[in-house]
Amino acid sequence: MTFEEKRCAEELVDFIEAATSPYHAVEQSNKSLCAVPMEENEKVAAGQIYSFPLYHTGMVFVVIGENAAQGPLRIACAHTDFPCLRVKPNPVLREHGYGKLNVEVYGGLIRSTWLDRPLSLAGAVALRGVDPFAPTLRLVDFRRPLMIVPNLAIHMNRKVNEGVELKPQKDLLPLFFQNGDGDEDDTKKLLVLLAEELGVSAEDILSYDLNAYPYECGCLLGCDDAFLSAPRLDNLSSVKACMDAIREWNGEGIRVVALFDNEEVGSRTKQGAGSTALAILLERVCYKLGLDREEYLRKVMEGFCLSVDVAHALHPNAPEKADPTNQPVLGGGTVLKVAANQSYAGDPEAFAVVAGLCEGAGIPYQVFTNHSDAAGGATLGSILSTQVPMRTMDIGAPILGMHSARETMGARDQFALTQLLMSFFSA
């Protein structure tokens, strides 16, 4: 592993540690670019990075290059959300001397991996404002272990190693505190904790959006540091690569990084890839460049999009789950994803473009297809391309343990993914 590859991997670990919720992923991404919010009547200028927030948990960044009106439009998109436990309203449960939080499952997480891990909380809190239509939103991240979901001892569950179904409403409720005898204030413990953390009155907290996250940090591992283990590799590895690539771009045309929320639950939300948000924002940009609607539509149809999301690597203990002839491995480079049913959005021309970029820049790449006897997942590409129709290719870093509380990737693959995105923007 080269110095550049290791530095890129270590910077990803740092980014993941700071991006503990979709709100914080957007905040960290915005800080890394120092983008300027685009005002309604402002003209766009070459060399400037503009930002368009998508309801706090998504963001679109647009970089205006030279000859922007005639130059190519290229987009890279990723998602900020991840499978986790989300806190419900009125969450405090008091039973048998223990205090628990009432949570629900978000996305298709591997439930057992959330047991026996110190967990913290992060997200956003909405505070009472002067105008009821403009509450104040504050981000919060406790950055300390607050909870744990304890396992049931093997002595009380002798079949635990044979596979046991975990019921979210019963088995995944985190242990939060030990309550006193009938202390009525226990029901307000979370609100009081939030108020203390933010330095506000608990009575001013009207709502919140909080997710649990594993408190342990990511790390390089293996006797040669060949692997990277961290929570939220799906899909903060892609977010980080997109941000690093667009920050380095300087050329002709328009370049876009679109960070969407809610991919893990289908993308069909106002801040998801299934909304018309990106199409609306692109039309606004083209209008400010002096293009009419016909020219805007032509630019979109002639554009190119990379949908960036993690891919499945061949599992060393279950190689039979992989396709017989397409078997990405950790450390083998960026994965190009192909599916005949178009759950991945690529076509032969899109594949050839991305493969050509890799070969031209000496970037290692691999191919993923689903095993024909197993239903695979889907991601942003096919959904987004129905709203912003342009040639699209799905790519990503290969990982093991996708949707686990902690996932594993090849330490070298983050650098390869970033280099491909830089080549895509610059070529």
Task: Express each pLDDT in 265-308 by its tens digit.
Answer: 999 999 999 999 999 999 999 999 999 999 999 999 999 999 99
What confidence score (pLDDT) does residue 375 get? 80
Confidence of residue 408 (pLDDT cuts 50, 70, 90): very high
Interval 91-144: pLDDT, tens? 999 999 999 999 999 999 999 999 999 999 999 999 999 999 999 999 999 999
Q: Where is pLDDT greater, at 34 or 127?
A: 127
Per-residue pLDDT averaged across 361-378, rounded?
92
Residue type, 11: E
- H helix and E strand count, the chain: 10, 20
Distances from the Cα of 330 to the Cαs of 259, 313, 357, 377, in angstroms? 25, 6, 21, 19
Looking at the predicted structure, is the pLDDT value of residue 248 above 90?
no
Is residue 409 domain-shared with residue 293, that is, in the same domain? Answer: yes
Is residue 100 classed as helix, strand or coil in its secondary structure? Answer: strand
Q: Is 369 left (phi over 0), alpha (psi -120 to 50) or beta?
A: beta
What confidence score (pLDDT) does residue 163 get? 87
Confidence of residue 185 (pLDDT cuts 50, 70, 90): confident
Is residue 265 domain-shared with residue 406, that is, in the same domain? Answer: yes
Interval 332-368: pLDDT, tens? 999 999 999 999 999 999 999 999 999 999 999 999 9
What confidence score (pLDDT) does residue 42 get? 75
Is residue 390 domain-shared with residue 419, that is, in the same domain? Answer: yes
What confidence score (pLDDT) does residue 41 get? 56
Distance in angstroms (rounded) separating the CA atoms of residues 30 and 247: 11
Is residue 98 domain-shared with residue 241, that is, in the same domain? Answer: no
Is residue 84 classed as helix, strand or coil in its secondary structure? Answer: strand
The pLDDT mean for the chain works out to: 95
- On whether residue 224 sits in a domain, the answer given is no
Q: Where are the alpha helices (DSSP H) in 55-175?
A: 168-171
Is residue 64 domain-shared with residue 98, that is, in the same domain? Answer: no
What confidence score (pLDDT) does residue 153 get? 95
- On whether residue 27 sits in a domain, the answer given is yes
Per cent of the chain over pLDDT 70 is 98
Is residue 265 domain-shared with residue 286, that is, in the same domain? Answer: yes
Confidence of residue 241 (pLDDT cuts 50, 70, 90): very high
Q: What is the CATH number of the domain that holds 191?
A: 2.30.250.10
- On whether residue 219 sits in a domain, the answer given is no
**What is the Cα Rg of the chain in Å?**
22
Confidence of residue 374 (pLDDT cuts 50, 70, 90): confident
Is residue 72 domain-shared with residue 89, that is, in the same domain? Answer: no
Interval 198-211: pLDDT, tens? 999 999 999 999 99
Interval 394-406: pLDDT, tens? 999 999 999 999 9
What confidence score (pLDDT) does residue 98 get? 94
What are 51's strand-pairing partners?
37, 61
Is residue 37 domain-shared with residue 131, that is, in the same domain? Answer: no
What confidence score (pLDDT) does residue 184 get? 62
- On whether residue 225 sits in a domain, the answer given is no
- On whether residue 223 sits in a domain, the answer given is no
Confidence of residue 40 (pLDDT cuts 50, 70, 90): low
Per cent of the chain over pLDDT 90 is 90
Looking at the predicted structure, is the pLDDT value of residue 181 above 60?
no
> pTM score, two decimals?
0.96
Q: How many domains does the chain have?
A: 2
Is residue 120 domain-shared with residue 205, that is, in the same domain? Answer: yes
Is residue 247 domain-shared with residue 263, that is, in the same domain? Answer: yes
What confidence score (pLDDT) does residue 182 get? 56
Is residue 143 domain-shared with residue 99, that is, in the same domain? Answer: yes
Is residue 46 domain-shared with residue 156, that is, in the same domain? Answer: no
- On whether residue 204 sits in a domain, the answer given is yes
Distance in angstroms (rounded) separating the CA atoms of residues 263 and 58: 11
Looking at the predicted structure, is the pLDDT value of residue 19 above 90?
yes
Exposure letters 147-168 (e unless 16+ CB within 10 A, then b): bbbeeeeeeeeeeeeeeeebee
Looking at the predicted structure, is the pLDDT value of residue 219 above 90?
yes
Per-residue pLDDT averaged across 240-258, rounded?
96
Looking at the predicted structure, is the pLDDT value of residue 38 above 90?
no
What confidence score (pLDDT) does residue 427 get? 85
What confidence score (pLDDT) does residue 180 get? 67
Q: What is the CATH number of the domain that holds 13?
A: 3.40.630.10
- On whether residue 222 sits in a domain, the answer given is no
- On whether residue 220 sits in a domain, the answer given is no
In which domain, by residue range, is 239 found? 3-82+231-426
